[in-house]
Amino acid sequence: MREIQMREALREAMQEEMRRDDRVFLMGEEVAQYNGAYKVSQGMLDEFGDRRIIDTPIAELGFAGIGVGAAMNGLRPIIEFMTFNFSLVAIDQIVNAAAKVLSMSGGQFGAPMVFRGPSGSAGTLGAQHSQVFESWYANVPGLKVISPSTPYDAKGLLKAAIRDNDPVIFMESEQMYGDKGEVPEGEYLIPIGVADVKRAGTDITLVSYNKMMKVALASAEALAAEGISAEVIDLRTIRPLDHTTILNSVKKTNRLVVIDESWPYGGISSEIAYRVQKDAFDYLDAPVVRVNGSDVSMPYAMNLVQAYLPSVEKVVKAVKEVMYIKK
């Protein structure tokens, strides 16, 4: 099977859906003439023209609102944020319009659209450009939230998101656009709300998503060298969350560590820990442990960035804690 980059997989998803459905269009900063800030939309202006690949001013609130209005009137917009940090300017349109219009209109209007772009840290970008917003948007009824870790998942999930009749928040990672992975030539969809077991194991369950899956899988390798078998689950979708896959794994391994780049207070890891202790309490042989980003604003210096983020060393330490291994 061919290997392509994450940016190419995302591009293919958008191209295929735009060829299939002329209601789909892409709007955002630098998506057209510049071929995308991260070259995700490279070549799409040439194929689809400036009525469907639309450059915008630096005005997230404005073009997000245009997208919501277009979706309410029968189109299927893809709104690209150069980074989800900038989506805070547009959060009123996302949370108070897109997420609520179906309910508040009594089903008369929906907002079938995708808000996509990178989330999370991407090196030394400072506190205002390194935030993780999956848990923020997952807290809002009416929104679906997707955060893939591989080109294969990204393509299949983005195609499903574009076809979905609800507004979807599609979180990517600047640090993963160049990552390569196997993606088949033919069309395929991945259903929203289904997690994936990336590695089977028997001793401990590791749960993560997006680029922290790299940490989770590297941790599983390090643990295997010490005779510890880790099962690694990629959430892929944050809302709706696939609790069944997590619970089934914990019932097998009896231990859980959640790896989450976002802040620890009231986040995704907290929600998972709550559901596991509620629905699989009798199967747990140790408390659930979370490995999160630090509970501070992201620093700028690289050594502090590394100290802030989850790491293999932190995960291995957490696993040994729940396995009561004193080292």
Quote the tokens at residue 10: 């995302």
What's the rounded Cα separation, in Å, for the pair 44 and 31? 9
Burial of 315 (0-12, 13-18, 19+ CB in 10 A): buried
**Angle between the 151-163 and 6-20 helix axes, to the nearest 10 degrees?**
30
Q: Are residues 276 and 193 in contact, defined by beta-carbon separation less than 8 angstroms?
A: no
What's the rounded Cα separation, in Å, for the pair 139 and 134? 9
- Which residue out of 17, 80, 129, 271 is catalytically annotated? 129
DSSP β-bridge partners for residue 210: none
Quote the tokens at residue 210: 């997006």
Q: Are residues 86 and 60 in contact, defined by beta-carbon separation less than 8 angstroms?
A: yes
- Which residue out of 60, 174, 231, 271 is catalytically annotated? 60
Indicate if 129 belongs to the active site: yes
Q: Are residues 176 and 209 in contact, defined by beta-carbon separation less than 8 angstroms?
A: no
Indicate if 243 belongs to the active site: no
Which residues lie below 8 Å from residue 97, measured CB to CB, with a gap of 6+?
Answer: 65, 68, 111
Q: Are residues 214 and 266 in contact, defined by beta-carbon separation less than 8 angstroms?
A: no
What's the rounded Cα separation, in Å, for the pair 324 and 232? 20
Pairing outcome for strands 168-172 and 114-118: parallel
Give the active site residues. 60, 129
